[in-house]
Structure 1
């Protein structure tokens, strides 16, 4: 089976983890800070806060933005559940903005229209989670302008976009967002096994993120409500969580980061190759917006079902039967039973629903060989021509 994605781990990664295992620090040690500093430098951000996974990163980012009961979080329906669930964790209401029919990202023009109506209705969001779907940023420049006009906080969910660029700068620099969240799950661009990170340029946000990942505790006298009792002393100043990452994970992430440029180069080579090989099939291929340079976490095609003799499901299952582990990113979040119970219905976000009825994620990862990719293309041709 050729999977849709997989990690690329080599001996240097293994040696980095073994070195930590043989050290005095398995968690809350120096590897975490080194990983954070390296990511901040790579992304041209001031601060980076590593946590146990990207869902935790989204949760504490929302809390740091002040999201709570009675507030609203908006995001795209074409994303993983965590982009919406993070708002529910905070007690906020969640709503969605339909997707751009070309990029399949949150549609900034649909966002503008929805914000205009929400201002009239008194239902503006406090937080917008802008998802960099498949590794390509949304129209972050327009979104940032809208955030200034309508006074909401932008969190860029860049779980797919480590190594991507937007407007000539690395995704994660936080030029157009208050915070950026990365994922280091094994199928992502680089991996720490499990892991996530929040980047920001605002010191107050960084301080709160650091507290929230570790039970709301601080040893910083400036953050304490009373004088220290001694060198052992800490205070819990708010309700936080055990969202800490380990040194084992951080060491793996740091080792992987050293190979990021090579990973991205191979992903872009494979994506360009797909573009050439699939150009004449009855498919809609990925589109890029002018300012975005994708990191190509995913390569998604849409079936032009009116030109194909098989259904979407038949093509998907035919590829699986041929040993190709295709996937589908994503089932629109508003159609999940939990969100239907909150009042969402089929037809609420028609572009995302049309996308779902046609999309297939093809294998894409650095270790995918040209021969394996040729097999994927040949099987897709067999099923669609």
Structure 2
């Protein structure tokens, strides 16, 4: 008789929902306000406090947070935003929602993040051509921070603003400080999608140290409407009055989602500890195999949203991927380079534009990584990789 433990499907990521999480959501469902109530501000404060940032602005998704961050920084037609090719399409799409143009900066082959050296070279050329970016959006791929001090130094020289796409990285640390403290950026954005570090079902948040920027992002997520008499064009007719002072969006988070997120925040450090232990076990047991494991910068601590390996022989990536899937192991690939997508090729982008990002993609496989991944399940993943590559 077969052991069911060896046939159970192992996803690459999975949310961890506790009874306390469920009770927190039920409490909101039984309350008078399931949206636009008191829980969203409490969740915003909890995330901002954890990161050491001044303000949090919760949104319906990280994509929405990236969009309102770009809009709040007045990104628009004629402007450029630069980001990484090794990211989900939302990072680049946020700029296009504002009517801006997008370009990419190739990645560092060790960290898989935006290369500070490549950024320096590109800025030198762009300055001569009069095409400097208004915003640079580094992406903390897999949970490890980009070299934010270096990117910030370039921003002081060339005058661009910085939005950290930290969708993978809540709980991570850079120079022994929390990712999201915005020491080297204007805004940092987190994702709370179910496979991320903590979840609100769907949802995101922008954190910042700039009160004016936080206020504008808060308005933009809610139709551009204000009830603040100091911002209104006319004296209010009464306490019911409001004004739309700019065109905004419907990007609000509900109290139901925020209750889940607030409860999950209580276990964030526990989740990160477990993820790092899983990563360390992978590092040790995959070392003898012909794969490249994720590099960990000595001055950083990854949140390990993902654990991407590279199969050293690109020709065998598909075989390894399919064999793992056939064995009930839900590996994935992160990411197909954004500039190779058909919708971006219309702007003149194509293969061979960013060789480091493309080389990583051709060899990359994301292994299962989530707090409830058992020791037995992880050994099953490691054994299957060894078998395929034997």
Which 4+ runs in 1 deviate beyond 4 A?
none
Residue in 2 that maps onto 1:384: 389
Residue in 1 that maps onto 2:159: 151
Residue in 2 that maps onto 1:81: 89
CA-to-partner distance for each residue in 1:55-105, whole Å, 9 max, x for gaps?
000000000111000000000000000000000000000000000010000
Report the alpha carbon displacement of residue 339 of structure 1 after superposing the two structures with TM. Answer: 0.4
Residue in 1 that maps onto 2:285: 277
Report the alpha carbon displacement of residue 352 of structure 1 after superposing the two structures with TM. Answer: 0.6
CA-to-partner distance for each residue in 1:109-138, whole Å, 9 max, x for gaps?
100110010000000000111100000010
In the alignment, does 2:132 pair up with 1:124?
yes
CA-to-partner distance for each residue in 1:150-196, whole Å, 9 max, x for gaps?
00010000000011111121111100110000000000000000000
Report the alpha carbon displacement of residue 291 of structure 1 after superposing the two structures with TM. Answer: 2.4
Q: How does the TM-score come out when normalised to structure 2?
A: 0.97
Residue in 1 that maps onto 2:206: 198
Residue in 2 that maps onto 1:183: 191
State the SS of the aligned residue for 2:138.
Answer: strand
For 1:227 and 1:354, the matched residues in 2 are separated by 59
- Alignment gaps of 5+ in structure 2: 1-8
Name which of structure 1's ranges 178-187 and 280-289 shifts more when overlaid on structure 2: 280-289
CA-to-partner distance for each residue in 1:279-326, whole Å, 9 max, x for gaps?
0100111112232210000000001107xxx62111110110011000
Task: Name the Cα RMSD after superposition.
Answer: 0.8
In the alignment, does 2:68 pair up with 1:63?
no
In the alignment, does 2:372 pair up with 1:367?
yes
State the SS of the aligned residue for 1:114.
Answer: helix
In the alignment, does 2:332 pair up with 1:324?
no
1:251 aligns with one of 245, 249, 259: 259
State the SS of the aligned residue for 1:42.
Answer: helix
For 1:10 and 1:203, the matched residues in 2 are separated by 34
For 2:319 and 2:173, the matched residues in 1 are separated by 36
In the alignment, does 2:353 pair up with 1:345?
no
State the SS of the aligned residue for 2:241.
Answer: coil
Residue in 2 that maps onto 1:98: 106
Report the alpha carbon displacement of residue 226 of structure 1 after superposing the two structures with TM. Answer: 1.5
- Alignment gaps of 5+ in structure 1: none
Residue in 1 that maps onto 2:4: none
Q: How many residues align?
A: 382
1:233 aligns with one of 241, 246, 254: 241
Report the alpha carbon displacement of residue 369 of structure 1 after superposing the two structures with TM. Answer: 0.2
Q: How does the TM-score come out when normalised to structure 1?
A: 0.98
For 2:298 and 2:68, the matched residues in 1 are separated by 32
For 1:154 and 1:108, the matched residues in 2 are separated by 14
